[in-house]
Chain A
Amino acid sequence: MRVFHRLLVAALLLPVLALAQTPIKVGIANDLSGPFAALGAEARDGFNLALKQLGNKLGGHPAEFLQTDMGGNPDQAKQLVTRYIQRDKIDFFTGPIGSNVALAVGPALFAAKIPYLSNNPGPSQFAGAQCNDYWFGLSYQNDAFHEAAGKVAADRGFKKMVIIAPDYPAGKDALNGFKRGYKAAVNQEVYTKLGQIDYAAELAQLREAKPDAVYIFLPGGMGINFIKQFVSAGLNQNIKLVGPGFSADEDVIQAVGEPMIGMFNTAQWAFDLDNAQNKKFVEAFRKEYNNRNPSVYAAQAYDVIMAIDAAAKATGGNVSDRAAVLAALKKADFASVRGEFKYGVNNFPIQAYYARVIEKSADGRITNKLVGKVFDAYQDVYVGECKK
């Protein structure tokens, strides 16, 4: 009888408990295998550091974080997102590194009214015609690094520029972005094969052209191949290297080392950016991960969790009220490691961008050093196409 009583009490209490403890669910589609594995691992470390600091809670409310690897594959990511929406009923989504994946999964999330906070990709489609209230391009718009790099090249007085990118849509966008920032005419525009291994022919052309600087947008292994070969050809003695931040972040530096010294690059964040939240983040990151410096991917992922945390706090944990959640997210009322920023109409950040240069620091570590601000409050050029 006593057992029965206990069961009865338990049965009556259960729905109450369940109601009180319905956790806020965040779906994180990690990129731990496939083409963006190295960057995905950085992002995961950023996510996990934030989760640890928040004690796995969001705004002080219980939360559940579903982390699944989708291998940078848009089809696999789509299946995963369907599962997240239908079975797991997530409240927030984040994770992918590539723009192709963001574009593939975005529409389904928007239709299901699930806010997607981007921890990296910022495709122009979502900034322009396909902009959506449920999208938050927390990181940057894809063109921004290139435009900032163009301005850095112009500001540094590099008169003769050669610009190089792979022959595919993102490569063309990158070089157009650079030219927008550079404003003057470039000397040569070179398109290479996607996945090219040997750059000897292009390097010979560079030697002939004798530019002041060369801008490269060569993601992943291509950039590593190019920089190693550029330096071994001795071209670094007379020609400066300029790139977007993602061609010169910790992952690439770890793989190339010394030859990267002196490369200019641009990003909305730097590990030595001077603000309280960033100092706290960098220190905690180093402590947690073997004294490693965080990359921009880790910083962005960390920011995403903090943004969700702030929104959960503002809505008192009632994240099913999506209108309130969107309004809270849009305020960007959290301490970002990049400093203060606000969103434009298209939910892409209006923020500062910085120039960094790779140097050997006092403790013998090869890493980026902040050398100046490029833009105070940059907004992408696509915002005008966003009608909502």
Chain B
Amino acid sequence: MSSTLIAEQLLNGLQFGLMLFLIAAGLTLVFGILDILNVAHGSLYMAGAYVAAQTMQWTGSLLASIVVAAVVTGVVGLVIELVLIRKLVVRDHLAQVLGTFAIILIANDLVKMLWGPAPMMMNMPASLSGPVRLLPDLLYPAYRLLIIAVGLALALGLYLFVTRTRAGVLVRAGASNRQMATLMGVRVPLLFLGVFVLGAVLAAIAGALLGPVTAVQAGMGEQILILVLVCIVIGGIGSMRGAFVGALLVGFVDTAGRAFLPTLLKTFLSPAVASSVGPTLAAISIYLLMAVVLVFRPAGLFPARG
């Protein structure tokens, strides 16, 4: 295995981690502050992807797709918060999970009604569709570099927002102790609304950005949501830093598992055994990681509530 291959796989791990972070950021924010597990976060991601794909077909511009997807999904998030989430916040977790699960079912059927059951076409702009030569013998897809760039920029932006702005202080206060924040005069309903819409917008950006490299179809949200849940559980629910570290860990471990494990196993197992054990082990590697983290840090790596 050459060093460029290892470098490329590390880059892949970073890219996949950032891809997951885009979705995890919104989910952890909503979970941390509203204390509600919004299992429909994946549906917002799907909504973003569909709106982006439609915009892409009309305009051909990736930037326009991302902006329109963010705005439309933000409005959808606003409506969902006002109509449903507001009422679920005071209920127990079972009601919250059932309520948001209902959104998944409705969203999947709505998407099929609007766009049909077949997956939707969303191709990347021609300028980004080829590979870029990073090193003499290291080619890397331009579009994946874009995902890395946007992921890092968004992470930095959220970091500055949470640590440097007044709204960020309120968000942190709400996450660490909601009751205390209320008593100190934070207007909680407005804060909740803002956070939920922000979560929806982040999910939509992720959906729009990942649309060109994944299948835009009904049910795409649930597929990725499980991985994202693993990220925020590892990182510590409600913590933005935790979501970032958790997503990167999952990205690296998952990619390394798929890239290196089968080859590694072949060195000390017979090829037949290695080829059947390798993929299975790679598939459970991130869940092993989660189990290990939870044994030593039951609240995740960076618990939001001290």
Interface residues of A (CB under 8 A from B): 32-33, 35, 37-38, 40-41, 167, 189-193, 195, 197-198, 200-202, 204-205, 207-208, 220-222, 224-225, 228-229, 231-234, 251-252, 254-259
Contact = CB atoms under 8 A, between A and B. Distances in A.
Given A189-B275, A195-B223, A41 B129 contact: no
A194 to B, nearest CB: 8
B214 interface: yes
Contacts of A167: 279-280, 283
B259 interface: yes
A231 B19 CA distance: 19
A195 to B, nearest CB: 5
B213 A228 contact: yes
A225 B142 CA distance: 16
Contacts of B55: none
A232 B143 contact: yes
B112 interface: yes
Interface of B: 1-2, 5, 8-9, 12, 15-16, 19, 109, 112, 116-121, 123-124, 128-131, 139, 141-144, 212-220, 223-224, 227, 255, 258-259, 262, 275, 278-280, 282-283
Given A33-B112, A41-B118, 11 more contacts: A32-B117, A33-B117, A38-B117, A38-B119, A40-B117, A167-B280, A200-B144, A221-B119, A224-B214, A232-B142, A255-B120
B121 A257 contact: yes
Contacts of A201: 9, 12, 255, 258-259
A197 B144 contact: no
B217 A232 contact: no
A233 B109 CA distance: 33
Given A167-B279, A225-B213, A255-B118, A197 B8 contact: no
Contact of B139 (A190, A200, A207, A225): A207
A213 B5 CA distance: 20
Contacts of B217: 38, 220-221, 224, 255
Contacts of A225: 213-215
B161 to A, nearest CB: 27
Nearest to B218: A37
The listed residue with most A CB atoms (<10 A of its CB), out of B109, B117, B212, is B117
Contacts of B220: 221
Nearest to B283: A193
Contact of B258 (A202, A208, A220, A258): A202
A37 B123 contact: no
The listed residue with most B CB atoms (<10 A of its CB), out of A195, A201, A202, is A201
Contact of A197 (B139, B212, B214): B214
A39 B72 CA distance: 30
A198 B16 contact: yes
A201 B260 CA distance: 9
10 contacts: A38-B117, A38-B118, A38-B217, A208-B1, A221-B217, A225-B213, A229-B141, A255-B120, A255-B217, A256-B123
B19 A254 contact: no
Contacts of B119: 38, 221, 224, 251-252, 254-255
B279 A257 contact: no
A192 B280 CA distance: 9
Contacts of A37: 112, 117, 218
Contacts of A221: 119, 214-215, 217, 220, 223
Contact of A232 (B5, B19, B141, B258): B141
Nearest to A200: B12
Contacts, number: 125
Contact of B121 (A222, A233, A234, A255): A255
Contacts of B128: 232
Given A38-B117, A38-B118, A221-B220, A204 B8 contact: yes
A222 B213 CA distance: 11
Nearest to A34: B219
Contacts of B2: 208
A251 B123 contact: no
Contacts of B19: 198
Contacts of B144: 200, 232
Contacts of A192: 258, 279
Contacts of A258: 123
Nearest to B222: A195
Contacts of A228: 123, 212-215
Pick the 3 closest A-B CB pairs, nearest first. A221-B215, A37-B117, A224-B215
A208 B2 CA distance: 9
Given A197-B223, A204-B259, A254-B121, A233 B131 contact: yes
B259 A259 contact: no
A279 to B, nearest CB: 25
Contact of A204 (B12, B120, B262): B12
A96 to B, nearest CB: 16
Given A208-B5, A221-B119, A193 B223 contact: no
The listed residue with most A CB atoms (<10 A of its CB), out of B5, B139, B279, is B279
A234 B112 contact: no
Contacts of B216: 255
A348 B138 CA distance: 49
Contacts of B124: 232
Contacts of A229: 141, 213
A256 B214 CA distance: 10
B223 A255 contact: no
A205 B279 contact: no
A204 B275 contact: no
Contacts of A256: 121, 123
